[in-house]
Amino acid sequence: MKINSSQKILIIGNGGREYAIGKAFSQDIRVDKIYFYPGNGGTLQLGENVSFKSDKELIDFILFHQINFVFIGPEIPLVQGMSDTLRKAGIKVFGVSKKAARLEGSKAFMKDFVSRFNIPTAKYLQTSDFTKAKEFITLLTPPIVLKADGLCAGKGVLILPTHKQALEELKNMLEGKSFGDAAKCVVIEEFLDGYELSVFAICDGEEYVLLPASQDHKRLLSGDRGPNTGGMGAYAPTPLCDEKMMKKIEDSIIKPTLKGMQEENVPFCGVLFAGIMVVKNNNILEPYLLEFNVRFGDPECEILLPLLKTSLLDICYGVMEHKLGLLKIELLNKYCVGVVVASKNYPYDSSEPSVIRIDDFNDILGHICFAGVSFKDGVLMATGGRVLICIGIGDDFEGARKNAYALVGKIQFDGMVYRDDIGFRALRNV
């Protein structure tokens, strides 16, 4: 694979994930310029933030500036088909097609797909019919899982402790009261009890590479309390996924999915993110697929990219040119822990902007990925949501965790919220 120097890359998105992607590219000397659309106050350290009023403006900009390729970070543009639009205009894109993005964009599509290929997943019914839904709910033992079919920014899953509550919520969902049109069709599932893993496969349509298994922390507060969020911290590799478990996930979930997509003429070219629940059946641990996403996770991306020895640039070209098989992707023998620092009212509401103070952290092996921040007149402000993520790197899990929390100690802004137990399941294990 020949990759020219002076690469110009446009990254779509504005989160910590896109900051991390930009940071990974910026470490490659072949990368000359990085644009972010729209980016955030932190991505200004890495490149230039741009914004457009229409697809046409975006395409004209890419062609005029001779941008080598576009990296699409978040799910919404992928599900809406941005990669197809750009490819049609002759632009190289890292990001799955609209058809492949249905694995994330429609839970009903995803569940039907995985059942066609006998991929282990929770028993389910997808329907828009209240009576059918009610019948199925009555057959399940609570807690009962209800999912909106469409995208809901990670909020479309409800876990209800009783049949009565499940039926009430079902009615709200089908009537469009809780998630609008996204829940006009619902998926009802049996509850799986176990621990979760995030597994990423980078795929070029045929070949794929697996990244080390990671673990996210979805609840806002320490001890897995409080509401669900986009993710409050992650770490990798996790001792909760040994080689045997990874092989099971690969053989029973990743391989049949990629083969199935090929068979259905929707080759998967991008990042396949499998949300896995590991369940104990008769004393044997078995992986079940909870969800697919068609992109890097946030905050998983921030803790996985620092573990790559091979440049992300080579990986992207391997995928875009369907030549991943020619690349030997190497990892560093390190651990990475990321602790999200969010604003006061996250995930319910916006928060008052507040000035961020960061003390010198040269003595700590790690860095900060910026997300909900602005930068004006030399002042970095927390503007809401997940504000930043402190990344600690180490030779072992405990070292990485220590560095991540040492970094958190260098940060100050009004109302900051973070969990003090990121990686607790791993700590129990080591």
**Closest separation between CB of residue 225 and ligand AMP, Å?**
14
Strand order across the beta sheet in which 157-160 lies: 124-127, 186-190, 144-148, 157-160
For residues 231 to 260, the per-residue mask of contacts with ligand GLY, x marking binding by CB under 6 A and - elsewhere, is x-----------------------------
Question: Which residue lies nearer to ligand GLY by CB, 293 or 311?
Answer: 293
Distance CA 304, CA 308 (A): 7
User: Which of ligand AMP, ligand GLY, none binds 104 (CB below 5-8 Å, type-dependent)?
Assistant: none
Question: Which residue lies nearer to ligand GLY by CB, 67 or 78?
Answer: 78
- DSSP code for 309: S
User: Which of ligand AMP, ligand GLY, none binds 231 (CB below 5-8 Å, type-dependent)?
Assistant: ligand GLY
**Closest separation between CB of residue 218 and ligand GLY, Å?**
7
Could you write out the DSSP letters of every residue in 210-267?
EPPPBEE--EEETTTEEEE-S-SEEEES-TTS-HHHHHHHIIIIIHHHHHHHHHTT--
Residues in contact with ligand AMP by the rule CB under 6 A:
122, 145, 147, 157, 189, 191-192, 196, 218, 275, 290-291
- Tell me if 95 sits within 8 A of 78, measured CB to CB: yes
Position 83 contacts ligand GLY (CB under 6 A)? no
User: Which of ligand AMP, ligand GLY, none binds 415 (CB below 5-8 Å, type-dependent)?
Assistant: none
Part in contact with ligand GLY (CB under 6 A); list of ranges 39-47, 292-300, 326-334, 355-363: 292-300
Question: Which residue lies nearer to ligand AMP by CB, 145 or 272?
Answer: 145
- Write out the binding residues for ligand GLY, residues 183-222 only, by CB under 6 A: 216
Position 298 contacts ligand GLY (CB under 6 A)? yes
- Tell me if 20 sits within 8 A of 369, measured CB to CB: yes
Three-class SS state of 17: helix
Distance CA 211, CA 200 (A): 6
Other Cβ atoms less than 10 A from the Cβ of 4: the count is 8
CA distances from 61 to 80, 414, 429 (A): 20, 38, 50
Question: Which residues contribute to the site for ligand GLY (CB under 6 A)?
Answer: 154, 216, 231, 293, 297-298, 300
